[in-house]
Structure 1
C-alpha cells in the first residue's frame, strides 16, 4: 500500500493532525503502517499512501498557512486551494490601468515616480501625499472587497511600493503612516476569510527597467553605486514587515520581489536567499515566496539545500499574451492539457515543482481577456487545473479603468467602469456597401446592455459622417427595448414622420451651417426612414432623442442600416448620459480624462475622489463560471486525426486521414510550415478532402483537426512539393516558407491579393529561392508605410547582401515601389528579410539581373 508517487506522499508530521480532525478512518489491518521499514525505503522519511484532506475551494478552515511538500496547508492539516486576484493600481500604480490609450494621465507620466513627482512638483510634498491618500481611499473601498468575495476569491495579491512603508527621503526610517493601507487590506481580507500575499512590486532603486518596478529605466536595485544600499534597505524593509505581521494568519506569504528581471537568474537567487534569511531572523512561520526569473526557477536549486524551509516559488504565466501564441481557445487548451504529447504545459512545471517539494504561486495570469463568453469557462478551468496541482494563483488584475468603459470581449480587469455606450457601428473601411441589421453590424454589432444602476435620462444618438467622399446612410426600425418588459423606449422608431428627433452637428455651432443633411421621415419605397447624406466635404453629426432608462434594466438595440454607395463614411449609434452639443464631437468615453500636467488641484482631487462612485461593469461570464457549483464544461475535445497523407492529382491536392468517432473535421493550410494556418474547410464528415484552390509555384502545408464542438489537437503536417521561387522573377510577399512577427491581410494595392504587415523591428521573412545566375540584381519592393523606418536587411544563407530604408508613403495602403541592388550567388538558397525598423507593409518583390 505504500507508494513512491510524490503526488500521493504524506509525511508523518501531519498524521496527528489528521486524527484530530475526526473525519479520517484508517484500516489498520488492511494497510500496515510499518514506520521502520517504510523509512528505510524513503531515506529516513516516513511516507504514507494517503493524501491530506482537500476541501472544495473556499470551504477550508481559515488559519495560518504553511507548506507540506508542494501543498499550501492550513493549521488543521487541510490542503488549501488558493484562487484570487491582484489589487493592481491601488497602492502601486501602472499608468495603462487608467486607460489603454496614450498618455492616460498626461504626457511624460509613465510610472509611479513620474506620477507622484508631477503632483509634488506642482503642489508640494504635503499636497502630493494628501492627494495620494484621496486616490487610495477611493480606488479600493468596501464595495470592491465585497465584489471579490462574491466572486469566490480567497487570495489577494497586494502589490505595493517600498515608499509606502519606508520614508524615501530618510532611508531605513518608517513613515508615520507606514501601515495604514497594508493593515486596512489585511483587515478587510481577514473579515472575509481571505488570505493576502504581500507583494513588493517596487523595491528601492527599482528591481528592473520596466515601469511596473516604480521608476522606468532605473534598475538601481542591481546596478550602480547605490545597489548595495538599495538591497540593504529592502532587507530592512522586509524585517519591518515581518515584525509587524509575524503572528498574522491572514498573511499567506511574503512576495519579496516582483519580476526582478534586471539581473541574471543566479544573482537573483543569491539575493533572494539573503532576503529569506533576513526575514527568518524575525519571522520563522510565514511562507517566503521566491520569485522566478524570466528564465525560470532553476538557479535556486532545491531550497532545502540552501537552508530554506517553508518557502514557495512564484512564476507569472500569460498564455496568449506577450508573444506566447495568440489569445484564444487553442493556447489555453495546449497549456492546461499539456500539449499534444501530454508532457508540456502545466505538466512540465508540475514535474519540476514536485521534484522540489515546494508550493507554487502563479502570481500573475490573465485567462479571460479578449475571450468574451468563453473567458468564463477558461478562467474557471485555469483555476481548477492549478488547484488540482496544488498551485495557488492570482489573476492580473481586479480592476482596470478605460475611457470607453465596458468589458467588451473582456478587459484585463475583472471589473471596469461601466461602458456600453457605443451600441452599434459600421464603416466603409470595414464593409463598404453594407445592408444589414444592427445585430450583424460588421464593426460593432448590437448586444444587450445595462447602461445604468439608477433611473436616469440618457440620449440615443445616431451619428454619421464622412471624410469628404459621397455619403448616403439609411436607417430604419430603430428600437431600444427593455428586456424585462419588452417596451421600446424610443419615440418614432420607424421614422414615419419628422418628429421626436433633434438634429445635431459635431462640426458647427448650428446644424444649418454644416455639410450634413439628416432627413427624418425620408420616403423610400413607400416607407419613412432616416437618411443622412453629404457630398464632397467633411461632415459629422446626426440626430438624437432623450430616453428614460430604469436602473439595473437591460436593453437591446435593434433595427437596420444601409450604406447606399458611400465612401470614407461611418455610421454609429451611441447611448450617452448627456445630450450632444453642437460644434462638439462625441465618443463612447465613459469617464473623464485627467491631465496631471495642467488640470487644477481641485479637478485632480475630484477625479481621484470620484473613483469610489464610478459605476462598475463586472465580467459576468467570469463571475458566473467562478461561482458555479460545477466545473467548466470545456477542454473535452476529441483525439487528433492520424496518418494524414497528401497526393497530387489531376483535380487538385487530395488529403486522406484516419477517422475519429463522433466528430467532424477541419482542414487548415499555410505557406509557412508550422504557423499561420488558414481554415480552408470545416465540418467535413468524410475522412478526405480535395483542395482545388492551390496556385502554381507555391508550397502548401496542411493539417487536419477533429471537432465535436471543441477542436482537437492537429494531425501530422503534410506538404506539397517544396517550391523554389526563381530569381530573376517576382515573389509574392505571402509566399514565404517561414516568418516571425508578420500578419497577412488583404491588400488594396493594384492587382489585389494579400500583403504582409504589422511589422516590428526584428521580424523576419524567409523564402526558398533559386538564383539562376550569380551577379548583381536590382530588387524592387512594393511598399506602403505610415511613417517610414530604417527598413529591411537582406541575407542569403545567413550572409548579409544588402539593405534598404522605407520611406513614408502616407498610409498603410498607399503603395509605392522602392529599389536597391544586391549581389547574389547562384543556386538554391534561403533568402531572409529582417525588419531593421517597423511600420511597413510588403506586397511583393521582384529581382532583375543587371
Structure 2
C-alpha cells in the first residue's frame, strides 16, 4: 500500500458563499478585454480562499477539486496546461501518416491490427511488435520535449487490455502496470501531472475507431463488460492510491454510444468502484452527450465529491466552423454578444460548482505562426476560467512530413521534401519561376533540424505519358541567413552534366541537353539551360548531393517551362536518401508498410522508425515560442468594433460597397465575398477607407458580401451580410446545405466527404433549425431529395413551410458521418415566396444538399 501524499480531504460545504464564489468563472471571462457586447450581468465575487500563482510557479503537490478550481495541497490554484499522448498505448492508426489505411486495407483500428498480426505471426510475435511500437513511439526523450514546452500535465489514453487479461477476465496481466508506472515515474521526475484516461473500455463505449475496435459499442448492453470496467477502475484506484503525480482518473473517453442518463448512472457506479479504494484522487466525469455536463446536475446530488467534468472542444474542426482566426476569436471571447463560447460553458460549470478538464482540443492545426498565439491564448483563457486543458496530440506523423501550416502533432516528422512542382493537367504550357509554380510554389524550407550538417540530395524529376519537353534554368538553393547558394551548375551550361547524376525510373530513353539555347522565358534571357525531352512515356531524374546545416532554412529559386508536351510533370525535391535506379522519389518522409503482406522485418522497421532519437523530427516552434514566453498572447486583446450599415450599389458589371466606420482601433477593413449566403466567404480586398468597388462581377450572379474592421492584432466581427441580387431560390432547384438564409447558432458547416466535395452542415441537436428562402411559381405537389448522412441513424427532422409540417424525414444509419444517401419525399408547397425550415427532432445527422423537383 502506498503512503498517502494527500492532505486531509475537506468535505464541500453548502452555504451562502457557495454560489458567490462560483461566480468567479463568469467574472473571469467577462474581465477579458476582448469580450464583445454587453454580455451577462457581472456579479461581484467573494474573494477566493486560495492563492493564484502565475502559471508554472505553483508547488508540485497532489491535486484536488475546490469549487471550480484545481488546487494543490498548499491551497494554491494550479493552472494545468498539457498534452495527450495519442497513438501510444491506445493506437489511432491515422496518426501514423495522417491519412487513410496507413497500415493496409481493412485495418482501421487497433483491434484489427492486432488480429492481423496474430493471424500472420502468432500471439507472442504480435505482443512483441506492439511492444516495439510502444517503446519507439514514446520514449524518455519525448518527456524532455514535453517539459521544455512548459506543459505540466499529460493525459495518457490507454485501453482496458493494457491492464486486464482478456483470456482471464477480471485478472491483471503480468505486465499490467509497466507502461503506466513508467509514465508516472518519468512525469514525476519533471514535476508533470498525469491524467489516466480510459480511452477504450471492454466492448467499446461507442462506435468510433478510437475506442480500439471500430463499430462495437457493446459496453452499454453487456452487464459483464460493465462489471469488468468497474473492476478495472477499482484495480487502478488500488494501485495509484496516494500517488500525487496522478492528477485524476478519466472514467471514459467520449462515450457517445449511450444516452445521457445511462452515462450518468454508470459514471456513479464507476465513481463508487474507485472510492472503495481511493478517496483522494479527482474522478473525471465524461461530458460527452447531447446534454453535456448538464446531464449530471450537481455531482454532490449523487454523492460524488472531488470530481471534475471533461468536455472536448475543437473550434474549427468536426463541423465546428472553419479553421481560422474567427472561430477561435468567437470561442475564446464569448462571441459577438458576450454570452456564448467559453462564457456559456463557464456558466454551466458555475451552476454545478465543479472544475473542468478540456481533455482534448486542437488550437494550432492549420494556422501556422498564428497557431502559436492562439494556443497560448487558449491555455491562458482556460486557466483564467480555472479550467485545465490537454491538447490532442503530442506526436502525429504525416506522409510528406514537415509542419506546413501546423499539423495535429506538436511533434512531427521532418519533411517538406517536394519543394516545387508544375504539371500539364493544371497548367499546360506553363512558363514560370519556381516561386510562381502552378501546382506547388517554392517557399522557404528547413530541411534538417538536427546538429551539424547533413548530406541531402536535390532531385529534378521529369516525366510524361505521351512525350516530354521541359526546360529548367537558373536553379539555386540559397541559405536564407546569408544567401549562400549550395547548388553547383544550376545554370546548366555546356559541361554542367558533370555535377548531376541521372537515374532511370521507367519508360523510353530521354535526352538531357545541358547546353540548350533557351533564349528568354519566365521574364529573363536564360542563355544556356537544361532541356529534358522524350518521344514517348518516360520518367527519370537527375540529382546532386548538397550539404545543409542544422536549423537553417533554404529557399529554392529558378524557373521552368513546358514546350508543348502533354500529360507531363516537372518536380524538384530535397530528400535525405540518395536516389536509386527504378525507385521513384515521391517526397514521402516516412516508410510505408502493409501489415497484410509486409515481412515481419519490414513491420519492425516501420514501428521502430518513429522513435524521436531516430526519426528526423520537428517541433511546432510557433507553439513552443508562445507557450514559453513570459508575455501573454496579444491576439484577441484589441478587437475593433463592428462595421455597420453596409450598402451595395449594383450595376451590370460593378458592385460598389460602402459602410459606416467601426469603433475602436481600426487600421482598415477587409472585404469578403461568397456565392452562398452564409458560408464560403473569401477575402477579396483590404482597404483603408470605408468603401470598395468590386468590378470583377457578372451581371447574372448574386454575390454576398460582408466587411470587417481590423488592426495590428485583431479583426472585428462581420458586418451584416448583404446580397447583390435575388436571394430566393426558384423551384425547381437544387440548394446546397450551406446556402441557408438563417440558422440556429449551434448549426455548423464543415467540408463534405461526398461526391463533388463542397460543404455540409451538421451539429444538429433537438430543436436546432436551418432556413432557406424559396420561390414557388405554382402551388402543388413536388418531390424533395435530401442528401443525408448519420453514423447513429433513426434520427429525424421536420420540413416546415408557413408553420406547417410538410413531412418528417427519418435519417438512417448511412455508415458514417460522411457516407451519404439520397432520400426522397413527396411534399405540397404553397405558391409564392416563403421560408422553408428544416427543424431537428433528434441530433447527430448531416445534410449536404437537397433538391426540389417536379413530380
Tell me what 1:808 maps to: none
Tell me what 1:503 maps to: 502
Tell me what 1:476 maps to: 473
Does 2:85 align with 1:87?
yes
Does 2:522 align with 1:527?
no
In angstroms, what is the RMSD of aligned CA positions?
3.9
Tell me what 1:641 maps to: 642
What's the CA shift for 1:205?
Answer: 0.8
Tell me what 2:522 maps to: none
Match of 2:254 among 259, 265, 278: 259
Look at both structures and tell me which one has the larger radius of gyration over its CA atoms. Answer: 1
Tell me what 1:355 maps to: 351
Match of 1:668 among 627, 651, 672: 672
What's the CA shift for 1:99?
Answer: 1.5
Tell me what 2:265 maps to: 270
* Residues 677-721 of structure 1: CA deviation (Å, up to 9, x unaligned): 3434322x3233455566556555432210113321112334456
Tell me what 1:596 maps to: 595
CA–CA distance in 1 between the matches of 2:446 and 2:103? 28
Tell me what 1:614 maps to: 615
Does 2:319 align with 1:304?
no
Match of 1:75 among 73, 76, 81: 73
Match of 1:390 among 362, 386, 390: 386
Q: Contact conserved, 1:246 with 1:283, CA < 8 A, in 2?
A: yes
Match of 1:124 among 104, 122, 125: 122
Residues 765 and 692 from structure 1, CA distance in 2 versus in 1: closer, same or farther, beyond 3 angstroms?
farther
What's the CA shift for 1:569?
Answer: 3.5
Residues 356 and 134 from structure 1, CA distance in 2 versus in 1: closer, same or farther, beyond 3 angstroms?
same
Tell me what 1:315 maps to: 311
Residues 375 and 252 from structure 1, CA distance in 2 versus in 1: closer, same or farther, beyond 3 angstroms?
same
CA–CA distance in 2 between the matches of 1:778 and 1:258? 42
Residues 174 and 666 from structure 1, CA distance in 2 versus in 1: closer, same or farther, beyond 3 angstroms?
same
1:307-456 matches, within 5 Å, as: 307-431=303-427, 434-444=430-440, 445-451=442-448, 453=450, 455-456=453-454
> So what's the TM-score if we normalise by structure 1?
0.81
Q: Contact conserved, 1:433 with 1:564, CA < 8 A, in 2?
A: yes
- Structure 2 residue matching 1:449: 3-state secondary structure: coil
Q: How many residues align?
A: 759
- Structure 2 residue matching 1:715: 3-state secondary structure: coil
The structure with higher relative contact order (CA 8 Å, sep 6+) is 2
Residues 437 and 388 from structure 1, CA distance in 2 versus in 1: closer, same or farther, beyond 3 angstroms?
farther
What's the CA shift for 1:488?
Answer: 2.3
Residues 711 and 144 from structure 1, CA distance in 2 versus in 1: closer, same or farther, beyond 3 angstroms?
same
Tell me what 1:281 maps to: 276
Q: Contact conserved, 2:429 with 2:562, CA < 8 A, in 1?
A: yes
Tell me what 1:6 maps to: 21
What's the CA shift for 1:95?
Answer: 0.8
> So what's the TM-score if we normalise by structure 2?
0.80
Q: Contact conserved, 1:159 with 1:199, CA < 8 A, in 2?
A: yes
Q: Contact conserved, 1:703 with 1:718, CA < 8 A, in 2?
A: yes
Tell me what 2:30 maps to: none
Q: Contact conserved, 1:774 with 1:824, CA < 8 A, in 2?
A: yes
Structure 2's unaligned 5+ residue stretches are 1-16, 26-42, 520-525, 743-747, 764-768, 786-798, 810-825, 840-844
Tell me what 1:545 maps to: 544
CA–CA distance in 1 between the matches of 2:684 and 2:617? 42
* Residues 5-60 of structure 1: CA deviation (Å, up to 9, x unaligned): 535779xxxxxxxxxxxxxxxxxxxxxxxxxxxxxxx9xxxx95355222222221
Tell me what 1:686 maps to: 689
Does 2:245 align with 1:250?
yes
CA–CA distance in 1 between the matches of 2:783 and 2:346? 55
- Structure 2 residue matching 1:138: 3-state secondary structure: helix
CA–CA distance in 1 between the matches of 2:846 and 2:428? 29
Structure 1's unaligned 5+ residue stretches are 11-41, 745-754, 781-794, 803-820
Residues 90 and 652 from structure 1, CA distance in 2 versus in 1: closer, same or farther, beyond 3 angstroms?
closer
CA–CA distance in 2 between the matches of 1:495 and 1:208? 60
Query: Greater CA deviation, 486-495 or 364-373?
Result: 486-495
What's the CA shift for 1:761?
Answer: 10
* Residues 317-360 of structure 1: CA deviation (Å, up to 9, x unaligned): 00000011111111111111111111111111111112221110
Q: Contact conserved, 1:473 with 1:571, CA < 8 A, in 2?
A: yes
What's the CA shift for 1:583?
Answer: 3.2
CA–CA distance in 1 between the matches of 2:133 and 2:49? 46
Query: Greater CA deviation, 363-372 or 118-127?
Result: 118-127
Q: Contact conserved, 2:644 with 2:662, CA < 8 A, in 1?
A: no
